[in-house]
Structure 1
Amino acid sequence: MQLVETPLKDCFILEPRIFNDDRGFFFESYNKNTFDKLLGKNIDFVQDNQSHSVYGVLRGLHFQKGVHAQAKLVRVLEGSVLDVAVDLREDSPSFGKWYSVELTDKNFKQFFIPRGFAHGFVVLSPTAIFSYKCDNFYNKASEGGLLFNDPSLNIDWNIKTEEAILSDKDQINPLFNQLDFKNLWN
């Protein structure tokens, strides 16, 4: 597995080594020892989640606050998504910046998003199955969100805004400048 740095501090793309032959392919999608060695830290994933969505479904931008903050390792099992992370850590050199990567069932890339980030994705294929590992359990009372089309962030989601299919909750998330950064991670 190869670790690729992104412009966001502590966010990484992981590219597995693919073994192809006339039967198909094989790759190791996760190995704790390899993963921790590449990142230089011990990450204990405790929850796996999976979603199935159709073209235009935009899930995000989400985060868990305080002691319930989550690091995630995400990948696509079927289809294609544009995955986006936004750095919400005030002490980070990449605070307020975002990065996106296309994750597909053909490129096998995975995206590691540490605690302190908002995260979301939009489906670019007719359907997609999205999978992610979390290092902390979900806590409804600690949900946080950021409006996907905040003009101050100017995220390019690779679809037209009117094509985005959002949950009621994601339509009313706050803007970046409305977040209380001092109390997000306490």
Structure 2
Amino acid sequence: MKITPLNIPDILIIEPKLFEDDRGVFFESFNLEAFRDATKLNVEFVQENHSISHKNVLRGLHYQMPPYAQGKLVRVIQGEVFDVAVDIRRSSPTFGQHVSQILSAQNKKQMWIPEGFAHGFFVTSIFAEVIYKATNYYDCKHEKSILWNDPDLNIKWNIFDKPILSLKDQNAHFFSELIL
């Protein structure tokens, strides 16, 4: 397993070791002991979510307030997404900054996003299946959304058509109205 920190060092890209031969490819998509050894994080995943979305769907930027804040390990099993994490930790030196990464079934990269970040993705392929493990349970009363195109965040989504958004994401708050 290869671990690469992004510009916000708490966000990690995890690449599995691939075993390829004339039959195809084998890899461990997740091993808790290896994850803990490689990242030095003692996390416990309690829920796994599976999202299937069409091209131009944008989901996010979502987060949950304490005590239901979630860390997420995000992986794409079909297609490709442009994945984004925004630091919403007020005491952090990178507060309000974001990182992005292309995650795809082809590159097999996973992104670790700890608690204290808003998360979203934009589907760049015909469709995409995204699976993510979460360190806390979903609770609708503690879920919040930040507007995906908030000018204060200045995220370069590389979107050429109008994205397809849920009603919740259309009505998301500006970053300046952050609720924690």
**CA drift at 1:41:** 1.9
Partner residue of 1:125? Answer: 125
CA contact (8 A) 1:9 1:92 kept: no
Q: Which secondary structure does the structure 2 equivalent of 1:158 belong to?
A: coil
Q: Which secondary structure does the structure 2 equivalent of 1:36 belong to?
A: helix
Partner residue of 2:48? Answer: 48
Q: Which secondary structure does the structure 2 equivalent of 1:128 belong to?
A: strand
Partner residue of 1:171? Answer: 170
**CA drift at 1:163:** 2.3
Q: Which secondary structure does the structure 2 equivalent of 1:141 belong to?
A: helix
Q: Which secondary structure does the structure 2 equivalent of 1:83 belong to?
A: strand
Q: How many residues align?
A: 180
Partner residue of 1:33? Answer: 33
Structure 1 stretches of 4+ moved >4 Å: none
**CA drift at 1:157:** 1.2
CA contact (8 A) 1:70 1:134 kept: yes
Partner residue of 2:100? Answer: 100
Query: Would you tell me which structure has more helix in proportion to its own residues?
Result: 1
Query: What's the CA shift string for 1:133-163, capped at 9, x where partnerless?
Result: 0010000100111000001111111213x42
Q: Map of 1:1-186 to 2, 5 A cutoff?
A: 1-160=1-160, 162-180=161-179, 184=180
Q: Which secondary structure does the structure 2 equivalent of 1:35 belong to?
A: helix
Q: Which secondary structure does the structure 1 equivalent of 2:151 belong to?
A: coil
Q: Which secondary structure does the structure 2 equivalent of 1:136 belong to?
A: coil
**One-letter amino acid matched to 2:178:** L
Structure 2, gaps ≥5 residues long: none
**CA drift at 1:2:** 0.6
**One-letter amino acid matched to 2:140:** K
Q: Which secondary structure does the structure 2 equivalent of 1:67 belong to?
A: coil
**CA drift at 1:9:** 3.4
**One-letter amino acid matched to 1:137:** Y
**CA drift at 1:86:** 0.0
Output the aligned Cα RMSD. Answer: 0.8
Cα distance in 2 for partners of 1:117, 1:33 equals: 24
Cα distance in 1 for partners of 2:131, 2:68 equals: 20
Cα distance in 2 for partners of 1:131, 1:159 equals: 22
Q: TM-score, normalised by structure 1?
A: 0.95
Structure 1, gaps ≥5 residues long: none
Identity %: 49
**One-letter amino acid matched to 1:2:** K
Cα distance in 2 for partners of 1:38, 1:139 equals: 30
Cα distance in 2 for partners of 1:99, 1:77 equals: 21
**CA drift at 1:173:** 0.6
Q: Which secondary structure does the structure 2 equivalent of 1:177 belong to?
A: helix
